[in-house]
Amino acid sequence: MEAANSGASHRVTRRVYKRRRPLATIQPDNSSQASSTPLYQASARRENKPELFQYPASLPQSDSKETQELWKTVQSFNAHRQRSARMSPKYSGVKVGGRDIRKRNTPSEPSDSHVPIRSATETESIAPSTARSRTTGPHQRRFPEEVLEPRGIFLDDTKAKSKPPYNHFSSVVPKDLDYARDSALAHAGIWIPHDEASFSAISNHYAFMEKMHLSEDQFGTYGKQQFFLSERWQLNLPNNRKWRGERIDQHVNPANPTERWLAPPVLDMATETTDGYRWDVRPDSSYWISNRGFNEEYAEAIPGCCYVYRDWISNPYLTIEFKKNDWRQGTAAIQVLTAGSIALHNRVILHLQAVNEPEDIDEIKHFGLTFEGPHYVVYVLRLNKAEREAAVGKRRIPESLPGGAEIANYWMWSGCTMSRLAQGDCTKYGDVPRLVRWINEIHRWGLTKHAIQVQNDIKMVLANDGFDVSIID
């Protein structure tokens, strides 16, 4: 018992010792100055404590030139950092291959982030920007002002009366609305059947997608399945000389003068273009005429007349863009306007290479269609009225066009305007067949008037270059 108590006492003593043990043992100093030395020395950190800064009694005079030079250096450094950040694939939205990654659905967009769009009727002057633009594409807020308007390209987004498409095209309504019955059109595989039962199913499907807030990709995929059909593709198809509309998605096609695909020029030729835009629009879908409709006798010479993609397609006539309904207001229309304007510009160039006096200039146009969720708008792009009236005697030779001397009748570009033809909501049953009729009529125009006019212009260009086209049908 006594031993146990002794052990307990020993443990308590050890515990107390641990609590009260000093961090270091202080040895007494037996020198003569021991009485004046403090028991604990101050730490080095406290001994080296910096003194507080004190302003001098008088400040030196500042040098304004030196200050300005310093600010220039700082601004130059910041600009370099911003350019480096924009060029970085991680932060700039650009893949390593150089392709722009277009901004997709962002529900958190602020409510005031609308695309400013000026009306074509505005008469205010457009002052050229002297600062380097940071424009990257149609999704930027200042893109219309910095890129499109200086080139005379405008959007008139006033709501249309939604007349039937047959009034616009002055066409005859096909029997039973079945375009496949027309022997001149039956070979094409892009006609949408006029089926009342399918229209009801389509309307219900769109209502469900809108209710569930589905993604832009799902709206786009379903829209292509129902409205924007594609031909069946295979290699080595025989050339049967029949016109077809070929749908191509996200086509990479920046402006390239050597390929005869030119961007619309700035109206004021004295203005230096600083926007840096490459006109690489990449719309969601676009329809082009197939080169299988041209005669094989001169098909190989067509790339010398206009832009041709891999001996397959040329001269687009319809551009489509999909966006989610909570996306920035007007972005889809601006993208269609951008893609359509460069297509229209190059179509005009082809026509004016072919003729001394412009003919049927009102028939030179391009169509567009936007989807924002279930809401659609049908557009047409036309040359500006002043452009159509001043077609004769207002020409110049563009330096950027290869062989510019051979195109002595090149027309001075003065812009174009995209305006509405119809609009609707695919959640409403009646708006679905209206859209189908517009799409089918645009295709009929593209495979008849548009394609035939393109063919005639190409034959005239070749004839001007010495080809004997009298025996070519």
| pLDDT beyond 50 at 279 | yes
The mean pLDDT of 194-214, rounded to a whole number, is: 94
State residue 466's pLDDT score. Answer: 82
The mean pLDDT of 329-347, rounded to a whole number, is: 94
Mean pLDDT, all residues of the chain: 77
Instruction: Give residue-wise pLDDT tens across range 222-256.
Output: 999 999 999 988 777 667 788 999 999 999 999 99
Instruction: Give residue-wise pLDDT tens across range 114-140.
Output: 344 444 434 333 333 434 445 478 888
* 0.85 surpassed by pTM: no
For every residue of the chain, which 3-state class applies, written as one string?
A: CHHHHHHHHHHHHHHHHHHHCCCCCCCCCCCCCHHHCCCCCCCHHHHCCCCCCCCCCCCCCCCHHHHHHHHHHHHHHHHHHHHHHHHCHHHHCECCCCCECCCCCCCCCCCCCCCCCCCCCCCCCCCCCCCCCCCCCCCCCCHHHHHHHHHCEEEECCCCCCCCHHHHHCCCCCHHHCHHHCCCCCCCCCCCCCCHHHHHHHHHHHHHHHHCCCCHHHHHHHHHHHCCCCCCCCCCCCCCCCCCEEEEECCCCCCEHHHCECCCCCCCCCCCCCCCCCCCCCCCEEEEEEHHHCCCCCHHHHHHCCCEECCCEEEEEEEEEEECCCCCCCHHHHHHHHHHHHHHHHHHHHHHHHCCCCCCHHHCEEEEEEEECCEEEEEEEEECHHHHHCCCCCECCCCCCCCHHHCCCCECCCCEEEEEEEEEECCCCCHHHHHHHHHHHHHHHHHHHHHHHHHHHHHHHHHHCCCCCCCCC
The mean pLDDT of 282-291, rounded to a whole number, is: 96
State residue 406's pLDDT score. Answer: 43
Query: Which range has the worst mean pLDDT, 51-65, 196-210, 365-379, 383-397?
Result: 383-397
